Chain A
């Protein structure tokens, strides 16, 4: 089967793709914000809620056991999917933001002291900036950005220099940029950071839906991702961490589930992963997240990445024909993200007029304000982002709609 037939095979799995918006067939090009859900994921949540809902890890009864098994099977699926060394290195979180905050509040508050430095790249999502900023403020530590080249690739010389000059305790890097699409050489970044004695945190939010990822080859210390960008539900994601680090880290949130025994004289904590999972989690979401991973693996990430790479090339060459349009982020290695600006037109206007034609895109700074400021794009960009089900025809429709929007504004 050829790659171009991928959407043909899978689009029927996504009920939402056949709806209309403002009377026009929906063209959903906001996948970097959140991907749509296949029937298997929708059905998994319905099935759980209809047939075996119960709280997990505690009840002695049959339903509690079924729910626990289903929820824990996702932990196993995540561990397999990312090449974790052991399953208990996978901590369920509410998403990537929650996972980074966990590292900042637990590892960070224990290990970062006054005068220390944390490095993050200039292209990080706010989720991999603000938790470190809050930590640095509390600890009187410094947060320093690593520069990005004008084409949207990471300045590795600047990284090397910053590692030597600042001897950071931690380096944060996004695996794939949500604004530019750039796939960063995270293996090289983690190697360099490790050689300089720094702990590494990789934000894999945009990588999980597009790339095969493996903890053992990336060489990071922490890796985070979220379910909803990878065809799963919102409100569930994971933190992967090296076992020795996780074991040494104090719990962050206190409550049920995360304890071993509780008395008013003192409480002892559970082992990993439960030590970091206080309270009842998003059980239906966790179960369906595992189904989403199965769904992606059923297609194969290589096929998905190949298809999306073709879409990026197709989109970029079609967009080139529009006068005064500039693609922002032209790295060779990209996920399915194409950001652009059109001279003289505000992205908000263009996005609004695309919406009127049934085309869903994102406009603005995409939660990467420092990157937009660095690139001199104060109004942000218009971003089209693709998924496994996106077709070339949809991109062609979006390009025609964009031309119409520009004509209306001229």
Chain B
């Protein structure tokens, strides 16, 4: 089940971050994750895929697979945002469209990074999550 997949990936991220008590250690880890996020196809780093935050910019590409799952790739011009974007992709990419649309993404809250999901969209992350869910919901509706 894709919903279980998303839940277990969230648990994995929560466990990984539980190793860091200190705020700065947590961000050091996030920076390392950001550096490891595979570069988005340069062909996809276009305005069409751009989610403009107030501060950092995020690019998101979504690809529908034959089996009804969605593959996401994403990038950002800020490394911390890129780390966060990478976590979102890690949790959601490859899951079924309906499960993505329904996903309850509480892991950022649990690991204490929820401030980056601020609705004013200062870093583009909240808009990205919205886009991921909208894309998945539209795809799920089309297939049903």
A residues near B, CB below 8 A?
A: 22-23, 346-349, 352-353, 356-357, 363-365, 379-380, 408-409
Contact = CB atoms under 8 A, between A and B. Distances in A.
Contacts of B23: 22-23, 356
A349 B123 CA distance: 10
A352 B76 CA distance: 15
A349 B80 contact: yes
Contacts of B78: 346, 348-349, 379
Interface string B109-126: 000000000000011000
Given A346-B77, A349-B78, A364-B54, A356 B27 contact: yes
Closest 3 CB pairs of A and B: A346-B78, A364-B55, A348-B78
B24 interface: yes
Nearest to B122: A364
A403 to B, nearest CB: 13
Contact of B55 (A22, A23, A347, A356): A347
A346 B24 contact: no
Contacts of A380: 55
A352 B80 contact: yes
B122 to A, nearest CB: 7
19 contacts: A346-B78, A346-B79, A346-B81, A348-B55, A348-B78, A349-B79, A349-B80, A352-B80, A353-B24, A353-B27, A353-B80, A356-B27, A379-B77, A379-B78, A380-B55, A408-B27, A408-B28, A409-B31, A409-B79
B71 interface: no
Most buried by B among A348, A363, A364, A408: A348
A241 B23 CA distance: 50
Contacts of B55: 347-348, 363-365, 379-380
Interface of B: 23-24, 27-28, 31, 54-56, 77-81, 122-123
A348 B80 contact: yes
A356 B77 CA distance: 20
A348 B77 CA distance: 10
Contacts of B79: 346, 349, 409
Contacts of A23: 23
Contacts of A365: 54-55
Contacts of A356: 23-24, 27
A355 to B, nearest CB: 9
A349 to B, nearest CB: 5
Given A348-B122, A364-B122, 5 more contacts: A22-B23, A346-B81, A347-B55, A349-B79, A379-B78
A409 B34 CA distance: 10
Contacts of B54: 364-365
A353 B79 CA distance: 11
Contacts of A352: 27, 80
Most buried by B among A352, A357, A408: A352
A348 B24 CA distance: 15
A128 B98 CA distance: 46
Nearest to A369: B54
Contacts of B81: 346, 348-349
Contacts of B123: 348
Nearest to A22: B23
A357 B24 CA distance: 8
A380 B54 CA distance: 10
Contacts of A379: 55-56, 77-78
A365 B23 CA distance: 26
Nearest to A367: B54
A365 B52 CA distance: 13
Nearest to B53: A348
B18 to A, nearest CB: 18
A378 to B, nearest CB: 9
A365 B28 CA distance: 25
Contacts of B31: 349, 408-409
A150 B54 CA distance: 24
Contacts of A363: 55
B76 to A, nearest CB: 8
A368 B141 CA distance: 42
A333 to B, nearest CB: 29
A237 B123 CA distance: 30
A200 to B, nearest CB: 31
Contacts of A347: 55
A240 B122 CA distance: 33
A22 B81 CA distance: 20
Nearest to A352: B80
